[in-house]
Chain A
Amino acid sequence: MSNLKKYSTVIIVVLICLLVTAVGGLAGWLLVLHSNGQTISFESAMRGLGLNTPSAGQNGSNYDNIGGGAPNGNLSTGSANNGPGGSNAAGINGGDASNIYGSGSVDVGVGADGSESSAASANNANGTSSSSATVLKAPRLWHVTKTPVAGFTFATSSPMAYFVERATGYIFTADEMSGDILRRTNTLMPKTYEAYVARDGGAIYRTINNTTGAIQTFSGIVGSSTSQNIGTVIGANLPNNILAMDANPDSKSIFYVAQSDNGSFSGYTTPWTEGKNGKQTQVFNLSIGSWRPFSLTDGRLMILEKPQDDAMGYAYQITSTGSLKPILRGAPGLTFLPLSNSDTYVFGTSENGALTLYAQSNGTTYALPVKTIADKCTWAPYAPATKKKPASDIVVYCAVPSSADSKNFLQNWYMGAMHTSDSWWRMDLTTGKSDQILEAASGGSELDVIDPAVDPTGNFIGFRNNVDGSLWILRINK
């Protein structure tokens, strides 16, 4: 009997313990439900905050909208190629970036340099970060964008190019080494027909007013933009109806031509103060308005009478007194490209359907061994002689059409009525040596080069393809 009583007591104690445990567990469960409920409510209220821009990453979705975006399959290819840790796997741009902007950032190791390609592939296979400057992931001929750009420039602080998308006016950076594309601004500037970009990413936007047809020019500065943040463009309007302009990112000066109230045409200079409308100074006044201005880094201002096949063209330097100092006179179909800090220039003629390119240096004129126009040429960086160093070689790069059979090449080309397939040539005016550095139609791409520019290191040439306005970057050395 005593044992029964003893067992009952034990059972009661056990039941009480179970009851206490159950009550405690229930209370804990209620607490869990309560806290999770708060989290769910919070996330519900704040959903979307902190998430990347959907579908197209920060680079925008224009290209999908126009049917230009690559199929999704390429996204996985890009990620797979880069492997874990590869900068294109995810990151700021989102996966689609690699599809939107060429395949250069996707296709690791397909450049001309086999060793570089192999190294890049190996590194990426092992998950090595693409930030290493010695790893070239962009191919030698890099199709940076597939849609038109309004303008571009090379940065001086790092091996990358800034460019302005024509459709949106967004500013992007294209890393020449890694092939990464990064959007830097989110201010919509639709239908930017022409843009001049500063070395730090500020830009001058040129567009056409949809209602009045007026040419509008806006000088913008990026408010704040880091690798993680997209900046806003703020700025000021420059005068309307600027007919032609040149903005030098090194001298930070703008030189433009506009019509005066009395019907004549004047040239003006103004400091390129990003985001602001600087004080303009009139430097010449003439009765004709067909001028192409040149603002050189050394401060010189030059103008070229706009070219026309077989029509005599003139190029002048604007002196400090506003007079016209002749540089080239009476050359048919004259195109012109001066070199800063030098009296050297190249010029082309278009006469009777024949293109001829010349260089003038130290007072001597040379006929160059290529048939092209100065519009398709650009100078390598040039350093004049100093007390410590002699002058660097004077080198010009020119895109040369495979065929330029047209009685009116300039007119047809300027109108977009004909396109060329260009090769790239390097001509050293100091040594007299010329070399072809890229054959025409390399890789099956017809390149109709316009607006070429060499980066400050002299290693890359950027240009737009006049067939579609897309941006390309060519690594000069294989």
Chain B
Amino acid sequence: MARNILRVVCFVLGVSVFFGSIAYAQSDPINSDAISGYGLRNLQNAVVIQATPAIPSAGDSVHFSVEGSVYDFSKDTITWTLNGKTIASGVGVSSADATVDSKGDTLDVIVDVSDPTWGDASNEITIVPAQMDILYDAPSYVPPFYRGRALPSAGGTLNLQAVARIVQGGTTLPNSSITYTWSRNGTVLGNLSGRGKSQISIDSPALYGADTISVRASANDDTLSANASIVIPSASLTLKLYEDHPLFGVTYFNALPATIPAQSEMTVAAVPYFATVTNLYDQSLQYAWLLNDSPLLASSTKRNEVTPASNQNTAKLHLDVTSSDNFFLSASGDWLFQFGNSGGSTIKNPGASDVFHSDTL
């Protein structure tokens, strides 16, 4: 009998302790000291960032939200950082928005969460938008070793190259998986567009005009896409005159000015930058030289070169450059030679500037 009474008492006490524990737990759900003892506090990656859309394009808005199973974000202090700058911060700020710039630059987003119980947590996500670059140049004439770009001029050809970067699942899609749709001034160039067609050649913009070239790259049944556009002006034919020095060759580093001090004679070479030819001796190019208003014969092999000489102190040199294939190609220039000078060559008299005797150096 006593044993049964003891069993009942133990049972009642056990039940009381069990429910008492539950009641205590209900009154203080989680003790921060306790979870700290278990190493569960300040878990850095206990939160995650969700981005929508996951692969945006240039100009798209992206919505970021923070998620975590044990956090009560409505009570937490949350800070959002985009590319090193804080864009949102405060209690309960569980989401933020950002816009991909027109270049489609990468978005690097960091969220920091501070919870009184679970401590601090953070996470980072890098969004690589679908990017598109449009590169261009032209098969127009520029001299060897020219450091600038060969530009398209009227009547010529314009080369375009699209460089698309669409990342899916951490892998950049190959060019063959991307469909390119090219348009010029809003008109789709259907015959030049298609899968893998990232390179096209079209007519240059009209004289003094400019064309807006756009391209859209899409993949994965059009669920992924990127766009870009560029305004390309028509370049003017630029005529420059250089000395063709017997020792140094054509001195491309120093274009001759309108008035040229020269010794007895000087061989000069005309260079029509951005002419719609690939070499200066193209038969379609015509050089009409005048020396003191009289025709001047150029070299038979180098029609862009003449050697003006005169018995007078000065000589006027005039050049018209035209093309039989492209009547937009036209340029002219006038230069005045002043003979009898010590200069003329771009190579200065060695004694002309002597910095070695300067006390300031």
Contact = CB atoms under 8 A, between A and B. Distances in A.
Contact of B135 (A107, A288, A417): A288
Interface stretch (B23-31, B40-48, B181-189, B241-249): B241-249
A183 interface: no
A466 to B, nearest CB: 5
A415 B148 contact: yes
Contacts of A28: none
Interface string A72-96: 0000000000000000000000000
Interface string B319-361: 0000000000000000000000000011111110111111111
B79 interface: no
B84 interface: yes
A287 B254 contact: no
A6 B148 CA distance: 113
Contacts of A311: 149, 151
| Most B CB within 10 A of own CB, among A99, A191, A211, A416 | A416
A211 B279 CA distance: 12
A442 B361 CA distance: 7
Given A288-B137, A415-B240, A469-B251, A375 B356 contact: no
A446 B353 CA distance: 9
B147 interface: yes
Contacts of B136: 288
A287 B354 contact: no
A458 to B, nearest CB: 20
A286 B350 contact: no
Interface string A44-66: 00000000000000000011011
A194 B355 contact: no
A453 B84 CA distance: 34
B228 to A, nearest CB: 9
B160 interface: yes
Given A139-B356, A415-B148, A326 B165 contact: yes
A443 B361 contact: yes
| Most B CB within 10 A of own CB, among A290, A306, A375 | A290
Contacts of B230: 312
Contacts of A330: 102-103, 133
Secondary structure call for the B interface:
loop
A323 B171 CA distance: 12
A193 interface: yes
Contact of A416 (B133, B255, B353): B255
Interface string B139-178: 0000011111111000000011101010000001000000
Interface stretch (A142-150, A229-237, A397-405): A142-150
A403 B157 CA distance: 35
A410 B248 contact: no
B100 interface: no
A139 B159 contact: no
B280 interface: yes
| Most A CB within 10 A of own CB, among B135, B201, B240, B253 | B253
Contacts of B358: 110, 442-444
Secondary structure call for the A interface:
loop
Contacts of A326: 131, 133, 165
Contacts of B279: 213
Nearest to B105: A329
Given A143-B355, A323-B172, A444-B353, A111 B361 contact: yes
B252 interface: yes
Nearest to A410: B148
Contact of A445 (B135, B172, B353): B353
A442 B354 CA distance: 10
Contact of B161 (A102, A287, A417): A287
B360 A442 contact: yes
Contact of A306 (B149, B172, B348): B149
A289 interface: yes
A298 interface: no
Given A442-B358, A467-B254, A468-B347, A416 B149 contact: no
Given A308-B151, A329-B105, A193 B347 contact: no
B77 interface: no
Nearest to A68: B350
Contacts of B133: 314, 326, 329-330
Nearest to A139: B356
A267 interface: no
A305 B149 contact: yes
Given A326-B165, A415-B240, A306 B354 contact: no
A208 B249 contact: yes
A193 B249 contact: yes
B18 interface: no
Nearest to B134: A312
A410 B146 CA distance: 11
B147 A103 contact: no
Nearest to A142: B356
Contacts of B172: 323
A332 to B, nearest CB: 11
Interface in A250-297: 264, 286-290, 292
A324 interface: yes
A193 B104 CA distance: 41
Contacts of B280: 213
A455 to B, nearest CB: 19
Interface string A321-342: 0011010011000000000000
B147 A416 contact: no
A363 B254 contact: no
B82 to A, nearest CB: 13
Contacts of A70: 350-351
B135 A146 contact: no
A238 B46 CA distance: 59
A193 B144 contact: yes
28 contacts: A66-B247, A70-B350, A102-B350, A103-B356, A107-B356, A107-B357, A140-B361, A146-B348, A166-B247, A193-B145, A213-B144, A213-B279, A215-B144, A286-B161, A287-B161, A305-B135, A305-B149, A306-B150, A308-B151, A314-B163, A326-B133, A326-B165, A414-B148, A442-B360, A443-B357, A466-B253, A469-B253, A469-B347
Q: Which 10 A-B pairs have the closest CB atoms?
A: A443-B355, A287-B199, A443-B358, A191-B249, A290-B137, A167-B247, A146-B350, A414-B148, A306-B149, A308-B149
Given A167-B247, A305-B149, 20 more contacts: A63-B350, A68-B347, A70-B351, A103-B356, A103-B357, A139-B356, A146-B350, A148-B251, A167-B248, A206-B145, A288-B135, A288-B159, A311-B151, A326-B133, A415-B148, A442-B358, A443-B353, A445-B355, A468-B253, A469-B346
Interface of B: 84, 102-105, 131, 133-137, 144-151, 159-161, 163, 165, 172, 199-201, 230, 238, 240, 242, 247-255, 273, 279-281, 301, 345-351, 353-361
